[in-house]
Amino acid sequence: MTYLYIKSLHIIFVVSWMAGLFYIVRLFVYHTEANEKPEHERLVLQRQFVIMEHKLWYIITTPAMILTVLTGLYMTWDARWYQQDWMLVKLGFVAGLLVYHFMCQRMVHQFKKGLFLWSSIQLRLWNELATVLLVAIVFTVILKSTMHWIYGLIGLILFAAGILSAVRLYRFFFRL
Protein backbone atom coordinates (compact mmCIF):
# COMPACT_ATOMS: atom_id res chain seq x y z
CA MET A 1 0.00 0.00 0.00
CA THR A 2 2.90 2.38 0.72
CA TYR A 3 4.04 2.01 -2.88
CA LEU A 4 0.70 3.32 -4.18
CA TYR A 5 0.84 6.36 -1.89
CA ILE A 6 4.38 7.11 -3.04
CA LYS A 7 3.32 6.61 -6.67
CA SER A 8 0.42 9.05 -6.20
CA LEU A 9 2.77 11.62 -4.66
CA HIS A 10 5.25 11.03 -7.49
CA ILE A 11 2.61 11.85 -10.11
CA ILE A 12 1.60 15.01 -8.23
CA PHE A 13 5.24 16.13 -7.97
CA VAL A 14 5.89 15.39 -11.65
CA VAL A 15 2.89 17.51 -12.65
CA SER A 16 4.10 20.36 -10.42
CA TRP A 17 7.66 20.12 -11.73
CA MET A 18 6.57 20.09 -15.36
CA ALA A 19 4.19 23.02 -14.80
CA GLY A 20 7.10 24.96 -13.34
CA LEU A 21 9.42 24.06 -16.22
CA PHE A 22 6.81 25.06 -18.81
CA TYR A 23 5.97 28.33 -17.09
CA ILE A 24 9.53 29.44 -16.28
CA VAL A 25 10.51 29.44 -19.95
CA ARG A 26 7.34 31.37 -20.84
CA LEU A 27 8.42 33.94 -18.27
CA PHE A 28 11.85 34.01 -19.92
CA VAL A 29 10.18 34.73 -23.27
CA TYR A 30 8.16 37.61 -21.81
CA HIS A 31 11.18 38.87 -19.87
CA THR A 32 13.24 38.94 -23.07
CA GLU A 33 10.46 40.63 -25.03
CA ALA A 34 10.22 43.32 -22.32
CA ASN A 35 13.54 44.64 -23.68
CA GLU A 36 11.59 46.05 -26.63
CA LYS A 37 9.41 48.23 -24.39
CA PRO A 38 10.08 51.90 -23.53
CA GLU A 39 12.66 52.27 -20.73
CA HIS A 40 10.27 53.00 -17.84
CA GLU A 41 7.97 50.12 -18.76
CA ARG A 42 10.94 47.81 -19.42
CA LEU A 43 12.45 48.46 -15.98
CA VAL A 44 9.15 47.82 -14.19
CA LEU A 45 8.50 44.64 -16.17
CA GLN A 46 12.02 43.28 -15.72
CA ARG A 47 11.95 43.81 -11.94
CA GLN A 48 8.61 42.00 -11.78
CA PHE A 49 9.82 39.12 -13.97
CA VAL A 50 12.89 38.63 -11.77
CA ILE A 51 10.62 38.32 -8.71
CA MET A 52 8.21 35.96 -10.48
CA GLU A 53 11.01 33.77 -11.86
CA HIS A 54 12.72 33.55 -8.47
CA LYS A 55 9.54 32.57 -6.61
CA LEU A 56 8.42 30.08 -9.25
CA TRP A 57 11.85 28.46 -9.36
CA TYR A 58 12.67 28.21 -5.68
CA ILE A 59 9.22 27.78 -4.13
CA ILE A 60 7.58 25.44 -6.68
CA THR A 61 9.78 24.06 -9.46
CA THR A 62 12.95 23.02 -7.66
CA PRO A 63 11.19 21.51 -4.60
CA ALA A 64 8.88 19.60 -6.97
CA MET A 65 11.91 18.31 -8.90
CA ILE A 66 13.58 17.13 -5.69
CA LEU A 67 10.43 15.39 -4.48
CA THR A 68 9.89 13.84 -7.94
CA VAL A 69 13.39 12.38 -7.88
CA LEU A 70 13.10 11.11 -4.30
CA THR A 71 9.72 9.41 -4.83
CA GLY A 72 10.92 8.04 -8.18
CA LEU A 73 14.03 6.56 -6.59
CA TYR A 74 11.90 4.98 -3.87
CA MET A 75 9.58 3.36 -6.41
CA THR A 76 12.46 2.23 -8.62
CA TRP A 77 14.16 0.57 -5.68
CA ASP A 78 11.01 -0.83 -4.03
CA ALA A 79 9.64 -2.41 -7.22
CA ARG A 80 13.13 -3.34 -8.49
CA TRP A 81 12.37 -1.47 -11.71
CA TYR A 82 16.10 -0.79 -12.11
CA GLN A 83 16.38 -4.34 -13.45
CA GLN A 84 14.13 -3.54 -16.42
CA ASP A 85 15.43 -2.24 -19.76
CA TRP A 86 12.53 0.21 -20.17
CA MET A 87 13.45 1.83 -16.83
CA LEU A 88 16.99 2.46 -18.05
CA VAL A 89 15.56 4.19 -21.11
CA LYS A 90 13.21 6.23 -18.89
CA LEU A 91 16.07 7.19 -16.58
CA GLY A 92 18.00 8.42 -19.63
CA PHE A 93 15.11 10.74 -20.52
CA VAL A 94 14.82 11.83 -16.88
CA ALA A 95 18.55 12.63 -16.87
CA GLY A 96 17.90 14.81 -19.92
CA LEU A 97 15.08 16.55 -18.05
CA LEU A 98 17.38 17.16 -15.08
CA VAL A 99 19.97 18.74 -17.39
CA TYR A 100 17.16 20.89 -18.83
CA HIS A 101 16.15 21.87 -15.29
CA PHE A 102 19.63 23.00 -14.31
CA MET A 103 20.12 24.87 -17.58
CA CYS A 104 16.89 26.75 -16.80
CA GLN A 105 18.24 27.46 -13.32
CA ARG A 106 21.33 29.01 -14.89
CA MET A 107 19.02 31.16 -17.03
CA VAL A 108 17.15 32.33 -13.90
CA HIS A 109 20.48 33.66 -12.59
CA GLN A 110 21.40 35.19 -15.96
CA PHE A 111 18.09 37.03 -16.25
CA LYS A 112 18.48 38.32 -12.68
CA LYS A 113 21.84 39.83 -13.75
CA GLY A 114 20.26 41.34 -16.87
CA LEU A 115 21.98 38.91 -19.25
CA PHE A 116 19.78 38.06 -22.22
CA LEU A 117 21.71 35.46 -24.20
CA TRP A 118 18.74 33.88 -26.02
CA SER A 119 16.19 35.45 -28.36
CA SER A 120 12.49 34.97 -27.70
CA ILE A 121 12.22 32.51 -30.61
CA GLN A 122 15.15 30.47 -29.25
CA LEU A 123 13.42 30.39 -25.87
CA ARG A 124 10.15 29.29 -27.50
CA LEU A 125 12.00 26.39 -29.12
CA TRP A 126 13.79 25.62 -25.84
CA ASN A 127 10.40 25.44 -24.13
CA GLU A 128 9.35 22.63 -26.43
CA LEU A 129 12.26 20.40 -25.43
CA ALA A 130 10.61 19.79 -22.06
CA THR A 131 7.46 18.70 -23.91
CA VAL A 132 9.40 16.23 -26.05
CA LEU A 133 11.12 14.76 -22.97
CA LEU A 134 7.80 14.51 -21.12
CA VAL A 135 6.19 12.65 -24.03
CA ALA A 136 9.16 10.28 -24.25
CA ILE A 137 9.03 9.56 -20.51
CA VAL A 138 5.27 8.96 -20.42
CA PHE A 139 5.28 6.62 -23.43
CA THR A 140 8.25 4.69 -22.07
CA VAL A 141 6.56 4.22 -18.67
CA ILE A 142 3.15 3.29 -20.06
CA LEU A 143 4.30 0.97 -22.84
CA LYS A 144 7.26 -0.55 -20.95
CA SER A 145 8.70 -3.62 -22.63
CA THR A 146 5.84 -3.89 -25.14
CA MET A 147 7.07 -0.74 -26.82
CA HIS A 148 8.54 -1.27 -30.24
CA TRP A 149 11.63 0.92 -29.94
CA ILE A 150 11.98 1.78 -33.61
CA TYR A 151 8.38 2.96 -33.93
CA GLY A 152 8.71 4.81 -30.64
CA LEU A 153 11.84 6.62 -31.79
CA ILE A 154 10.28 7.51 -35.15
CA GLY A 155 7.16 8.77 -33.36
CA LEU A 156 9.27 10.90 -31.02
CA ILE A 157 11.19 12.42 -33.93
CA LEU A 158 7.94 13.16 -35.79
CA PHE A 159 6.46 14.70 -32.64
CA ALA A 160 9.54 16.93 -32.18
CA ALA A 161 9.38 17.94 -35.86
CA GLY A 162 5.70 18.80 -35.48
CA ILE A 163 6.43 21.03 -32.50
CA LEU A 164 9.29 22.72 -34.36
CA SER A 165 6.97 23.35 -37.32
CA ALA A 166 4.30 24.81 -35.03
CA VAL A 167 6.82 27.24 -33.50
CA ARG A 168 7.99 28.29 -36.95
CA LEU A 169 4.41 28.83 -38.11
CA TYR A 170 3.73 30.90 -35.01
CA ARG A 171 6.84 32.95 -35.72
CA PHE A 172 5.79 33.45 -39.35
CA PHE A 173 2.25 34.57 -38.52
CA PHE A 174 3.18 36.77 -35.59
CA ARG A 175 6.52 38.03 -36.96
CA LEU A 176 8.65 37.26 -33.91
Query: Which pTM was predicted?
Result: 0.86
Does residue 60 contact residue 20 with C-beta atoms inside 8 Å?
yes
Output b/e per residue, 152-167; b: 16+ Cβ within 10 A.
eeeebeebbeebeeeb
Q: Where are the domains of the chain?
A: 2-174
In order along its 176 residues, the chain shows pLDDT tens digits of 899 999 999 999 999 999 999 999 999 999 999 999 999 999 999 999 999 999 999 999 999 999 999 999 999 998 787 788 888 889 999 999 999 999 999 999 999 999 999 999 899 989 989 998 998 899 888 888 655 666 777 787 888 888 888 877 877 777 65
Q: How far apart are CA 152 and CA 144, in angstroms?
A: 11
